[in-house]
Structure 1
Amino acid sequence: MSGGIGYYVHHHGDGHRQRALAIARSAPLAQITLIGTGLAGRTEGLPCLDLPDDRLAEGLGFDGHDHMGDRPRALHYAPVHHEGIRKRAARLTDWIERERPALLVVDVSVEMAMLARLAATPTIYFRLGGLRDDPAHLDAFRGARAVLAPFHRELDEPGMPDWVRSKTRYCSGLSVSARSVEPRRRDTILAVFGNGGAGGDGDALAAAARATPSQQWRVIGPASRPKACPDNLSLLGWVQDAGSEIARAGLVVGAAGDGLVSAVIATGSRFICLPEPRPFDEQISKARRLAALGVAIVLESWPDASDWPGLIAAANDIDPDGAARLHDPDGARHAADFLIAIAREGKPRAST
């Protein structure tokens, strides 16, 4: 393999970084450089190229909208006269010229994939859930050596074009979570809120806990403080080992992001899924597939407090081993092997 592998990590949420770390730790024979905004000090010792921010204003979240009416259809986000974007483009192309990578993995950004191709660098493009058949995504898929989906093929959006599916390598199990060696706490409900969403409503969580006094509610991730906190509700904030919390809980409540869905499936946890709004209906699509396969209870919005006892009973009827086929315990290693093979051979392997 001539040159190493660059791996672009999007800065919205933390799932992209977690995937990158899982894969990079499984690739001892290849030097992987993580590339992205805000990565310095967060790559567990892996080489890193930190890029300037591309958001429209400092401190704002990233919603993917640039409000440009004259943007080419092959791009999603291309504001003009933005110093951060000018500098990040220059920094990436300078790194490509200096390091001459064999491959750039893009998770995710149509613009980074196009920039890499213009800089004569082949790409592997991560395809998230939802119906991504717009011109920009299709061009990114078409220009990539292969497309990598961080989920099992049974969770894919049925409406995706056949040629995209045939170019896709499905890699489930891109999570560090595993089944706990400790006993599962059947009386514990774990509510999980990620970095890319609105966070938990403390008063709604408190009402749910009061409606289910025999359950212990534990909340990880961002959540507001309730006006009055019942004794069976604990707000833990950010925790170092979310996977262990998920594995020990009797029931997990959370959104349909790839990281949480992967962790729930990996640990064999029962799941109540509340998909959050995302571009291309990413989470809604994934949640519908989970419901169709009978491996999760799916709700459109946070339920009334009085509904929780019935929902918990319904979730307890889910076969905890029913989703086992959707998880590859060696998923990160298989993804790393796939990337190394393409970097070495210069061509993709068949989809699995």
Structure 2
Amino acid sequence: MEKPTIFYFVHAHGNGHRAIFNLLYPELSEFFNVIAVTTNEEVTEYLQWNHRVEILQLPPKYPPNYEIPEHTFSKAFEMTPYEIEPAFRAKSFAEAIIKYQPKAFYCDGVPEIAIMSRSMGLPVVLVHLPGNIIQDPTQVFAHELADHIVAHFPASLEQENYRFATKTFYSGYLSKYFQENLIQNKSLNENPVTIILGYDNYDESVLRNITSDLNTKFTVIGNKRKYNLAENCVQLGRVKNISDGISGKIVISAAGQNTVAEMFSLNKTLILLPESRPYDEQKIHAEILAEEGIALLAKENFTAQDWKNILSEAKSFKPLNKNVVNPFAAKEIAQKMNNWYA
């Protein structure tokens, strides 16, 4: 029997969306013919290299050399230009819907495409992230029109002002490293400390403050630049398997969902230094985790002494992170999709 088709949109920003696709694609493929939708050549190449998946790459919505305006959240569709390119994107998407006749659109990012999908008669399953989405009319509309919403985090970490909880499935965090948690050495020394550079990377001055204690060894993982740091720092650059590069129990990282999930699944104590995002999603995510006693929260303006203090606190910190990572999350999401649309 031929499997029904679904479209799965993979957002281009950061690595987390790709990591989630890596986990969900095999499970969804048990029930569906999954066609990945992208808007970016780099993402397309990544998916082609890592998966035998058919890909629909939509044309750009911006004309060449277009200066993208700052997102003010003042009106719906403010990031869609008054140009012909959005029409070509819509035409390409409509033709694909007619050709493949998908049962649903799993949208991990870009609310405009979710809205476009629903306007063409295609049910939308919207991926929900923490952040100030309520201030953005486009995001609100996408949440309102979605058949179902999936949050890749626990319900206990939801914001109080979120209005769509009744149609949201909270899967818990997803992580490819969950099984490694079972074999982690519980007696790991807190020294050294690992720093995982985020998508944007930190300023060198911030890293120097973090690593100012020369009695502590730091392992720095990241791929965008090399820093002029003291001899107590080892810079690994990009690593294929982040779990192999981590030294010690304490990890300093940004607050993206994927990194947080992976570190919790590896039984690490997290000090979060969130990066700037349009909806303050990392800031809000980190603040909620700190309020719930799951992680420690740092700030970019921390002095060297502030970092010494929080690193000292981390050594005795007991994170309340039990069951926040769900080892069956990908299977459960796929089963939900099967129940809804197969």
Instruction: State the TM-score, normalizing by the size of structure 1.
Output: 0.85
> Equivalent residue of 1:49, what SS?
strand
| Residue type of the alignment partner of 1:307 | D
| Residue type of the alignment partner of 2:314 | A
In structure 2, the partner of 1:256 is 255
Alignment pair present for 1:270 and 2:269: yes
Structure 2 contact 109–127 (Cα < 8 Å) conserved = yes
1:143 to 130, 142, 145: 145
In structure 1, the partner of 2:37 is 35
Structure 1 contact 203–226 (Cα < 8 Å) conserved = no
Structure 1 contact 187–216 (Cα < 8 Å) conserved = yes
Matched ranges for 1:34-183 at <5 A: 34-36=36-38, 37-38=40-41, 39-43=43-47, 44-45=50-51, 46-54=53-61, 65=71, 73-81=75-83, 83=85, 85-133=86-134, 134-161=136-163, 164-178=164-178, 179=180, 181=183, 183=185
2:340 to 328, 342, 346: 342
Distance 1:222 1:329 in 2: 28
Instruction: State the TM-score, normalizing by the size of structure 2.
Output: 0.87
Task: State the identity %.
Answer: 23
Q: How many corresponding residue pairs?
A: 330
Distance 2:84 2:73 in 1: 12
Structure 1 contact 173–330 (Cα < 8 Å) conserved = no
RMSD of aligned alpha carbons: 2.6
How far does residue 212 in structure 1 lie from its aligned partner after superposition?
2.3
| Residue type of the alignment partner of 1:4 | T
Distance 1:208 1:101 in 2: 49
Distance 1:25 1:117 in 2: 25
Alignment pair present for 1:233 and 2:233: yes
In structure 2, the partner of 1:297 is 296
In structure 1, the partner of 2:321 is 323
Deviations 1:259-297 (A, max 9, x none): 112112222210111122222321221111111111211
Distance 1:252 1:294 in 2: 16
Residues 53 and 339 of structure 1: CA distance in aligned 2, closer, same or farther (over 3 Å): same
Distance 1:330 1:221 in 2: 29
Alignment pair present for 1:186 and 2:190: yes
Q: Which moved more, 1:303-312 or 1:323-332?
A: 303-312
Structure 1 contact 15–258 (Cα < 8 Å) conserved = yes
| Residue type of the alignment partner of 1:262 | A
Deviations 1:180-225 (A, max 9, x none): 5354453222212232x3x12234424432x322322122224543
1:333 to 324, 331, 334: 331
Structure 1 contact 251–270 (Cα < 8 Å) conserved = yes
Distance 1:13 1:232 in 2: 29
Distance 2:243 2:322 in 1: 16
In structure 2, the partner of 1:307 is 306
Runs (5+) with no aligned partner, structure 2:
none
Deviations 1:71-123 (A, max 9, x none): xx44352112153x343322222111100001101111111111111221111
Residues 142 and 234 of structure 1: CA distance in aligned 2, closer, same or farther (over 3 Å): same
Structure 1 contact 157–286 (Cα < 8 Å) conserved = no
How far does residue 244 in structure 1 lie from its aligned partner after superposition?
4.1
> Equivalent residue of 1:279, what SS?
coil
Runs (5+) with no aligned partner, structure 1:
345-352
2:202 to 187, 193, 200: 200
Distance 1:307 1:330 in 2: 38
